[in-house]
Amino acid sequence: MTTYALQAFFGKNRDELVTSIPHAYALGMRVVEAGPCLAVLSLPYREEFVGDPRRGVVFGGLITALLDQALGLAVSCSLADLRPIATLDLRIDYLRRAEPERTLIGRAECYKVTRNVAFARGLAYEESEADPFATCLSTFMVGSSASESAFAKALEAYGKQK
């Protein structure tokens, strides 16, 4: 039986998995679901996210941030012990524009973890995974630092508050 470091945080609406990440918190990201090798995040629409005011299309960097956060969380959800991770490579294919004034969803899965590298894939959509506006592939360095993960420290502090 596989044991996961974040197993106690698996489930729906576990926002403590993103509130300790300053940029995710500032952007208003929410955890829809977290599980073994899986993360689904939402990003509610805000007017300041619009990169093209004429068409109401959100800034592409916002989609990158959502997907990178979902991918990183999926990697963390695949580890037996929390170790620092760092994005090595991230490729996003934009299939269409994100619909204006909609909540964006980023779904990611970590499909392989080696000693030093984790591999993840994901997609972004508004309503249905069957109609994504972006897909992505990524690699993460696992154990990227000799120090304890800042994420692990934040989750440990959260556990002490309960």
pLDDT, position 162: 61
The pairing of strands 38-43 and 50-52 is unpaired
Q: In CATH, what number is assigned to the domain containing residue 16?
A: 3.10.129.10
> Quick one: which of 148, 123, 151 has its CA closest to 39?
123
Q: Is residue 96 part of a domain?
A: yes
pLDDT, position 148: 63
Q: What is the total count of domains within the chain?
A: 1
Q: Is residue 112 part of a domain?
A: yes
pLDDT digits (tens, 9 = 90+) for 59-87: 889 999 999 999 999 999 999 998 999 99
**CB-based contacts of 143: which residues, under 8 Å, 6+ apart?**
83, 84, 85, 116
Q: Is residue 1 part of a domain?
A: no
Which domain covers residue 61, as residue numbers?
7-161
Model confidence, pTM:
0.89
Nearest 5 degrees, angle CA 47-CA 40-CA 26? 40
Q: Is residue 31 part of a domain?
A: yes
Q: Is residue 118 part of a domain?
A: yes
Q: Is residue 73 part of a domain?
A: yes
Environment class of residue 20 by beta-carbon count within 10 Å: exposed (0-12), middle (13-18) or buried (19+)? middle
Q: Is residue 2 part of a domain?
A: no
Q: Is residue 90 part of a domain?
A: yes
Contact 48, 57 (CB under 8 A): no
pLDDT, position 75: 98
Residue with tokens 């500032």: 26
Q: Average pLDDT for residues 89-104, to the nearest whole number?
A: 94
